[in-house]
């Protein structure tokens, strides 16, 4: 599934209170962000049974174009899945 860059940026601006490009990287202070093309999936894990739950949590990765610092956002909450 390809991620809709424009939709992700609009939703992040709504949650962050500012456009993504108005947010500086906390590592290198760059202002340029890349919305990665693909979603990532993190498997659910139950520490009490030390086993996978079978659930997958999908995320959108947004990376600094200068240093590569990457933030993961919940794809369901952003409305991209």
* pTM score, whole prediction: 0.80
The DSSP 8-state label assigned to residue 22 in this structure reads: G
Residue 1 pLDDT class (50, 70, 90 cuts): low
Q: What is the DSSP string of 32-70?
A: -EEEEEEEEEEEEEETTTTEEEEEEEEEEEEEETTT--E
What distance in Å separates the CA atoms of residue 75 and residue 57, rounded to the nearest whole number? 8
pLDDT in tens, 26-80: 999 999 999 998 899 988 888 888 877 878 889 999 999 999 999 999 999 888 8
Q: Name residue, tokens 């999936």.
A: 41
């Amino acid at each position: 599934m390809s991620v809709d860059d424009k939709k992700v940026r609009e939703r992040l601006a709504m949650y962050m209170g500012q456009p993504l490009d108005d947010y500086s990287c906390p590592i290198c202070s760059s202002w340029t962000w890349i919305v990665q093309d693909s979603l990532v999936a993190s498997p659910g894990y139950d520490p009490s049974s030390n086993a996978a739950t079978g659930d997958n949590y999908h995320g959108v990765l947004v990376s600094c174009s200068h240093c590569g610092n990457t933030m993961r956002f919940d794809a369901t909450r952003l409305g991209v899945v």
